[in-house]
Chains A and B, each alone.
Chain A
Amino acid sequence: MPEPKDGGSSLDLRRPKIEARDVWKIYDTASGPVTAVENFTLDVADGEFVCIVGPSGCGKSTFLRMLAGLDTHSAGDILIRRGADPRKPLNSVVFQEYAVFPWKTVVENVAFGLQMRGVGKSERLETAHYWLERVGLRKFAHYYPSQISGGMKQRVSIVRALANDPEVLLMDEPLGALDAQTRIVLQDELLRIWEETRKTVVYITHSLDEAILLGDRVILMTAHPGRLLTTFPIGIARPRTVETLNTPEFAELRGAIWHQLAREVSRAMEMQT
């Protein structure tokens, strides 16, 4: 039995939802092999929200794609445990560039995963409309993505994943391309929806604030090669909202993480030189 890595979380890590063990990603290039992800181990409990933070190009997106099965890993094991319902898809990804299909209407996009799994038309449209209602996009159901704003597109991308009802939700910097205000609004919406669904989430971001606000655990990665630096349990009580950003508790925690982070980063840099 693997030892749970963090003691702060109350979540059950004895039978994790996601088990990634000693995962490597090595690219073969003309100038020799390049290591993108080095010996990465991560367990995520059922219903846990894990945030991975790291500088751009640190391999966090690569790791997420390997979790999603969209990229192969060079070594190690990746396991996502199925729940009771075998028809559920293992994972659904929310991509940074939205990846909402421009040739499908908003509601067709949201119903896409269900359609591919053979869910009947009326049932999948009902589900899609339900989710659009929840993010306030009911009126835009029959619009094409080119007719709505970036924030709306990312909402569509998020509910496309949720409507698919996957075992785990994998989010690759979903708010990275949005402006600051829209980002805050969507963080709030994400918190509200997650509070209601309690999905298992792996969330990639380069914003430490966002990671602390959303996550049960924040995992820091280093770059070149991408490897796990440290893990911080986030003990801030739920439900959280964007107001949480203004609490002394949040500020204190962020200060502590920054302090430790600075030490870790400089140590990592010394190790490299």
Chain B
Amino acid sequence: MSEVRNIDAPTPPVLPKRPVERGAPLAKELAIVAAAVVAWNGGLVLLSLWRPLWWAALPGDFALLVIAAERIGRCVSLAWRRVYERSLALGFPVLALIAWQLVVDAGILNPLWFPQPTRIAAALWDVTVHYDRFSETSLLGRPWLIPSRFESDGWSGVWTLFAESHVWATLSRVGIGFVIGAIPGILLGVIMGVNRTVRLMLDTTLSAIYVLPKIAIFPIVMLVFADPFGEGPKIAVVALSVFFLMAINTMAGVRDIDPVFLMAGRNYGARGYALLWHVILPAALPVIFAGLRLALGTALIVIISIEFLRAKQGVGYMTFYYWEVLNPEKMYAGLVVVMILGVILTYGLQWLQRRLMPWER
């Protein structure tokens, strides 16, 4: 066997592993930026201006930080690109928290209203592990007690742990309200998108109700239910706000379907239910999911406000309760929990979207 070599094939040039550096070397430029940071903050401190002008000093530091990060970014190789971008996205909030900590530690901001992140974290730990005897609640329902309670009281013992959880109360209200609002909302939206008469009759009315802040109809909803202080009205208001948003959004999505898909569906024999299932719903799905994202945010806003107003349990209740008893660390801890819930639910929705729309990758 002789080796066959194609002499016409050009050899590609070897590309450099990292981008070619232009200008001064990295270390030198970073040293210049570091010097600028020292000069900026030191100068302000020397002039006794840092304390009164801290709100201007920090943006200046931020600008210098951006310059340094961009300089580093210019010589990051392709393999490390993702790591670099991740560290920018995660590094900045960490730095912001450190700055917050330092500003409060230095006594520039009042720790009563802006407790240090470390104290908020400690408070978050505190509300997680401790049971509040006064309101008979805990943040997560003390999941580490599940094995012992199950042994002593069985499933009902586990349920009492769930029943004391703020997070569980909020999540179940949002979850149930979301589902019983979204499904009829999507159905009505499809009907309005397909049927001109229904659309003409309902569009104006729905738009008017849509812009009404749902918290404003909470008192009426309370009256409708047999137990005005129970779970019913809270779930109903979440469901209502999700319902109107989804109806309007889905209608827009259905109206926006490229008519050629509808023609193709009809030409290949899809009628009625088959047309809905095989053409209209999948074609409107991107817009429906965009609507669900919006609806999720709205549902969280609504449930937290209702828990502020009238609830004996829930993350919103917890947040407001600790404000009333002047325990700002724990109030902030409640806000952190709301943010975490929002992020988790959004990720859940994105997971569902990837499952239901595998063609959009």
Contact = CB atoms under 8 A, between A and B. Distances in A.
Interface of A: 65, 68-70, 89, 91-93, 95, 97, 99, 101-104, 112-113, 116-117, 144-146, 160, 164
A81 B266 CA distance: 20
A220 to B, nearest CB: 26
A174 to B, nearest CB: 13
B270 interface: yes
Interface stretch (B146-154, B163-171, B237-245, B275-283): B275-283
A93 to B, nearest CB: 5
Contacts of B358: 144
A176 B309 CA distance: 62
Given A103-B285, A113-B269, A65 B263 contact: yes
A160 B268 contact: yes
B261 interface: yes
B69 interface: no
Contacts of A112: 268, 278
Listed residue (A93, A99, A113) with the most chain B CB atoms within 10 angstroms of its CB? A99
Q: Is the interface of B mostly helix, strand, loop or mixed?
A: helix
Given A89-B268, A92-B268, A113-B269, 4 more contacts: A65-B263, A101-B264, A112-B268, A116-B270
A116 B264 contact: no
B260 interface: yes
Contacts of B283: 103
B359 interface: yes
A202 to B, nearest CB: 14
Contacts of B360: 146
Contact of B269 (A89, A102, A103): A89
Contacts of A160: 268
A145 B358 CA distance: 12
B359 A164 contact: no
Contacts of A113: 268-269
B269 A117 contact: yes
Contacts of B261: 99, 101
A102 B267 contact: no
Contact of B263 (A70, A116, A164): A70
Contacts of B263: 65, 70, 93, 95, 99
Given A101-B279, A103-B283, A103-B357, A95 B264 contact: yes
25 contacts: A69-B267, A70-B263, A70-B266, A89-B268, A89-B269, A91-B267, A92-B267, A93-B263, A93-B267, A95-B260, A99-B260, A99-B264, A101-B261, A101-B282, A102-B359, A112-B278, A113-B268, A116-B268, A116-B269, A116-B274, A116-B278, A117-B269, A146-B359, A160-B268, A164-B268
Interface string B337-360: 000000000000000000001111
A102 B206 CA distance: 31
A51 to B, nearest CB: 20
A92 to B, nearest CB: 7
Interface residues of B, number: 20
A116 B275 CA distance: 9
**Shortest 3 CB-CB contacts between residues of A and residues of B:** A116-B269, A103-B282, A99-B264
Contact of B359 (A69, A92, A144): A144
A97 B270 CA distance: 19
Contacts of B269: 89, 113, 116-117
Contacts of B285: 103
B282 A93 contact: no
Nearest to B268: A113
Contacts of A116: 268-270, 274, 278
Contacts of A92: 267-268
A93 B264 contact: yes
Interface in B267-325: 267-270, 274, 278-279, 282-283, 285
A99 B260 CA distance: 6
B173 to A, nearest CB: 33
A164 B265 CA distance: 13
